[in-house]
Amino acid sequence: MNIIWGLAGIIVILLIGYLLSNNKRSISPRTVFGGLGGMAPNRRSNIVKCGMKSIIAGTLANLLSAAIAGMFV
């Protein structure tokens, strides 16, 4: 039983590391949308809506990638 919990702990650590390394991709849209907000201040509400949707979509894509990687580990 202890061997199973040890193996599960290693798999969880691998998946958390994978998820954290892919989470850096969500920083780029923030920078792009921040620049767009400065160039078109009257469209800022539309830019913020698109920015939040892209960050949520990127996070879900990272979680899906980690889940698929977990099936192969």
Query: Tokens 């979680």, residue?
Result: 63
Size (the chain), residues: 73
Query: Residue 43 corresponds to which tokens in the numbers above?
Result: 């469209």
Q: What percent of the chain is predicted at pLDDT more than 90? A: 0
Query: Residue 25 corresponds to which tokens in the numbers above?
Result: 């991709």
For residues 26 and 18, the model is more confident at: 18
How is the chain split into domains, by residue range? Answer: 2-72
Q: Across residues 6-12, what is the average pLDDT?
A: 74
Q: Across residues 5-24, what is the average pLDDT?
A: 70
Whether the CB-CB separation of 47 and 37 falls below 8 Å is answered with: yes
